[in-house]
Amino acid sequence: MRLLNVGQGDATYIRNGSSRVIIDGGPEPTVFGRYLDSLRLNNTTIDVVILTHQHLDHYSGLQELFKTARHIRIRYFFENKDPAPAVTLAHLRDSILSRMDRDSLIYRDTDDPCSNRRPICTITMTGGARLHIMAPQPNGEGANNRSAAVKLIGPDSASFTMWLAGDAEHEEINWFEQAGYDQNPGIKVNVLKADHHGSCNGVTPRYLDLVHPQWVVVSLGVRNEYGHMHTQAKRIYRNAGIPWYRTDQNGTITIRSPGTPNGSYTIVPEYPGTNLNGPSDRTSHQIGCT
């Protein structure tokens, strides 16, 4: 799998066997399109596309998947379908609806991801890996706290697991425990994709106790206007003894696991260095960040 370097946004590509999954598409269609080209995804089928929540830095790039010239077929598209005024999102949704009519795309609401009124939908990939898609907080305040969480489990669950939860902030990461996700499907994993681009409102010591990752990977842009990674977030990761890679300094981050018993995993950045700082990093004065 790859955490793609798309700037100030999120985009993740997962492959297991012949199955392909995309979680979010970053802020720029042209940038995401170049990754579609380099990964040779034109003229292929993407089994699952997940839009974690309705912010442009997560959904705008996904428009590239629907360009006719790419000949990309999508089997399932997941998002929360909340009403939103954004014209770009409306255009994306029109593309999804069009594919439903002519290409049998199945459009799922993350509030009911398997259309069976259960909060967790499990998809088994052809290589044996599993993808748990979890309903977001029903009444979360703002789009970030309506982020769908995803847990990736390798074919050998003892070898690799990963937790990705969009831009979930304190409100929703506390709710994950209340919802019982710490028990089913379980939150403890090998790698955590940092919530909200390394913002201090996307991590707490309690959250890290539950997730207990060996690594944190952070998707963010160079010289971003938000001060990511926040000084407080880095302090929390450092105090927990968890090293990080970050796309603005390390480039695209590739994680591989053979999926065999005791096969473990490797995590390799495009550019070396751990626990790096970036030019935009600063202390945040948001409420709840100490």
278: in domain:
no
In a domain, 274, yes or no: no
Counted domains in the chain = 1
Mean pLDDT over 47-73 rounds to 98
The confidence score (pLDDT) of residue 70 equals 98
Residue type, 201: N
CA dist list (Å): 214 to 92, 161, 249: 36, 10, 19
Do the domain assignments include residue 130? yes
Q: Decide if 75 is inside a domain.
A: yes
- Return the residue matching tokens 């077929």: 73
Q: What are 102-116's pLDDT values in tens digits?
A: 889 999 999 999 999
Q: Would you say residue 229 has pLDDT above 90?
A: yes
In a domain, 244, yes or no: yes
Query: Per residue in 95-104, pLDDT tens?
Result: 999 999 888 9
Q: 29 Cβ partners below 8 Å, 6+ apart? A: 60, 61, 63, 64
Domain coverage including residue 79: 2-269
The helix/strand count (H/E) of the chain reads as 7, 15
Tokens coding 126: 């052809």
The span from the CA of 255 to the CA of 265, in Å, is: 7
pLDDT at residue number 128: 94
- By the 10 Å C-beta count (0-12 exposed, 13-18 middle, 19+ buried), 260 is classed as exposed
Mean pLDDT of 247-259: 95
Residue 288 has pLDDT above 90, yes or no: no
DSSP 115: S
Alpha carbon distance 202, 207 (integer Å): 9
Q: Please write the tens of the pLDDT for every residue from 132-175.
A: 999 999 999 999 999 999 999 999 888 999 999 999 999 999 99
What's the CA gap between 40 and 38, in Å, rounded? 5
Examine residue 200 and state whether it is found in any structural domain, yes or no: yes
Residues in the chain: 290
Residues 78, 8, 161, 264, CA torsion sign: positive
Domain assignment present for residue 277? The answer is no
CATH number for 66: 3.60.15.10
Full-prediction pTM beyond 0.85? Answer: yes
Does residue 43 sit within a domain? Answer: yes
